[in-house]
Structure 1
């Protein structure tokens, strides 16, 4: 519709100014030419140009016309120096509805097409409580405390039946009450120390991923001095390092022939290196050492601005990777002291198994469900601390972190290749693309 209005104004001005129209005014050349049609000449279902699509919602202020300034020749003007400004109405701008918020999958992760990288979904109390109660039978904490909870329930049922028959004397509850604060202190310290280990493990892997990104980015900057073949080898070593480290800290076999014959490892390891990798115990450290040897073999080139300073800078990043490997091994090899864990478990068992004696006079057989709930809560706190003590087993999603590292390496290499091609085409060394 805008094009038709512009064409109509142009024809009107040309009829009033024949000299300007015959001279071919520049302003007229910029206007689109179109054959005028009546409004009813549109076919059914056609939409005029500039009109919003059917079903689109308009903004609240879009009903008013927006001025569109166009240069047109003034009346009687022959040259292109005298122009006038004509305000034409513009069609309202359609506004589409906002996209729906991303949904979380069953694993608690948002889909990759909704976010730039995998992130955990955030829950609210209104959505979390129903999901938590629905998945209670499949809880790993409940499976871990099933045996002591059943034992405490059976013990409380026997005491309730014995008390109903014999009415034995119940001891004083004051010592039990005085020891409650000590039990709470032990459980809180246990869970707090385990959470600190979990958070430290996440920070170690964050440092590992950052150093991998820094290393591959710096290598792409000096790709002319490193050579393309060595750059691909270094990038492949950086890609498989988190994968080998995950198998190392999870104490899973990785040295079988099927694992060593994968495409990723075969592409960056020589046959001799693959045989050594199958024999060594510390496989991620071997990958870091191989990476250091590759960097050491880069020749010094003053023309390409690669000297010993850049080589030492790259080797310092490899040293940081080795430090991350040692930090992960420290968490795995240094659990919470056994004496502390055993004392907490013994104290908790004695406290739970003597609690029914204090509740029997007031609750009777109702002590059985009460002890079941209390033992599930307290033993569950202890089990929670035991599970998050080693964050590399199942708490941290290390496979997702591996995928992020591989994606970062691939994108860095791809962008470096694109920029290099653009630079060569600008310099004229490559022919432009058709």
Structure 2
């Protein structure tokens, strides 16, 4: 166990605090240390062929989607809510369609099915104008099968999206418990641990490091070395980075620190019970990350959508003719967009403002440490003043001493 580094200033008094001159912040520059311990070696350049040419647009759309997922999400404030419920939000959302990662990720399938509609329309037009031999039939079919299967497709998309949102909600609730547990754990340490100020500050460092380590454990490519370098000692950080499971390594630091503190058995038991919240958070988050929605359900939805739009131009030809091209485009853009949203929120943690939540916890603990001594002095002065007012000059209680009234009464 080492003493905290200079980023945490320990004064001789009982009120240790994080100094304002070295505030905790997430580094803006990427570090060389990432959550993934073993980075994959660069793959050799792919030779140019037909498959690589056809994959240009899908690879471009996937790259944009993955880069957008790595952007930090903000916590909503009052101004954000005002803009969120503004009556002009529909116009703003429409104008920003081309910058939406959901819509950009739909470019490959929508273009593919629109191209199929163009091919079917061109073929039927060529048959109608006798540009092809007579044995070439017109591609048409009855719309009755679509009328019968449309409700099934709608229910399938609704259930798929609902299942994904339930995972998103479960992940949000798990992180709410982690954040509230971290705040409560730090508050208990600040109040219960009056001595061993150096070890107390080290324990608070480990408590604050846990949600950051859990965030980096869940989101691939997170810079755990940069996030923790201003919070943990170098030897502590090296041990955490060398661990196979960083959040559980920090829990071990917390448990060992509690054993070294000079605490009463009841206080130690209370503090150790707070670690259970961290273990539960790890378990829930890892289950969400490791176990997706049953793949058969996802594949069924995808296959249903693909077959639906491959045959849609044939079904609509008799009624729409060349209008099947915009009709297929609109149908593919709408239905695949619903399915794409379900796929995105199926992995909830990149969608949550985890960086802001971790920073909020740090700010709360820092404020609690800074106000700890002042609050004790104020409460001590009140107790002395109340004791002095209860006794008169001859030693008898004063009538109504110590009573308070509601403000403005």
Q: Same fold (TM over 0.5)?
A: yes
Q: Secondary structure at the match of 1:265?
A: coil
Select the structure that is richer in helix. Answer: 2
Aligned counterpart in structure 2 of residue 228 of structure 1, from 190, 194, 197 = 197
Q: Are 1:293 and 2:256 matched, yes or no?
A: yes
Question: Could you say which residue in structure 2 is the equivalent of 1:143?
Answer: 104
Kindly indicate whether the alpha-carbon contact (under 8 Å) linking 2:120 and 2:139 is maintained by their aligned counterparts in 1: no
Q: Deviations over 1:294-340 (max 9, x none)?
A: 1122224xxxxxx2122111111111112112211111111112221
Cα separation, 2, equivalents of 1:339 and 1:126: 41
Cα separation, 1, equivalents of 2:368 and 2:227: 26
Kindly indicate whether the alpha-carbon contact (under 8 Å) linking 1:216 and 1:409 is maintained by their aligned counterparts in 2: yes
Q: Secondary structure at the match of 1:179?
A: helix
Question: Could you say which residue in structure 1 is the equivalent of 2:206?
Answer: 237
> TM-score under structure 2 normalisation?
0.69
Q: Deviations over 1:233-266 (max 9, x none)?
A: 122112221111111100225565x666x22122
List gaps (5 residues or longer) in structure 2: 1-72, 129-137, 385-409
RCO comparison, higher one (Cα < 8 Å, 6+): 2
Question: Could you say which residue in structure 1 is the equivalent of 2:163?
Answer: 193
Aligned counterpart in structure 2 of residue 310 of structure 1, from 267, 270, 273 = 267
Select the structure that is richer in strand. Answer: 1
Aligned counterpart in structure 1 of residue 232 of structure 2, from 265, 271, 293 = 265
Q: Are 1:354 and 2:282 matched, yes or no?
A: no
Question: Could you say which residue in structure 2 is the equivalent of 1:414?
Answer: 370
Question: Could you say which residue in structure 1 is the equivalent of 2:292?
Answer: 335
Q: Secondary structure at the match of 2:84?
A: coil
Cα separation, 2, equivalents of 1:120 and 1:404: 19
Alignment of 1:119-138 (within 5 A): 123-124=84-85, 126-138=87-99
Question: Could you say which residue in structure 2 is the equivalent of 1:67?
Answer: none
Question: Could you say which residue in structure 1 is the equivalent of 2:241?
Answer: 278
Deviation at 1:274, TM superposition (A): 3.0
Deviation at 1:419, TM superposition (A): 2.1
> TM-score under structure 1 normalisation?
0.65
**Please, what is the CA RMSD of the aligned residues?**
2.5
Q: From the CA coordinates, give the structure whose radius of gyration is larger.
A: 1
Alignment of 1:19-418 (within 5 A): 123-124=84-85, 126-167=87-128, 168=138, 170-224=140-194, 226-252=195-221, 254=223, 262-266=229-233, 271=235, 273-300=236-263, 307-393=264-350, 395-418=351-374
Sort the Cα spacing of 1:121 and 1:322 in 2 relative to 1 into closer, same or farther, 3 A. farther
Cα separation, 1, equivalents of 2:74 and 2:360: 17
Cα separation, 1, equivalents of 2:339 and 2:380: 63
Q: Secondary structure at the match of 1:366?
A: helix
Deviation at 1:110, TM superposition (A): 5.5
Cα separation, 1, equivalents of 2:277 and 2:139: 66
Cα separation, 1, equivalents of 2:172 and 2:330: 33
Kindly indicate whether the alpha-carbon contact (under 8 Å) linking 1:249 and 1:328 is maintained by their aligned counterparts in 2: yes
Deviation at 1:185, TM superposition (A): 1.5
Kindly indicate whether the alpha-carbon contact (under 8 Å) linking 2:218 and 2:349 is maintained by their aligned counterparts in 1: yes
Kindly indicate whether the alpha-carbon contact (under 8 Å) linking 1:142 and 1:380 is maintained by their aligned counterparts in 2: yes
Q: Secondary structure at the match of 1:126?
A: coil
Q: How many residues align?
A: 304
> 163-172 or 132-141, which moves further after superposition?
163-172
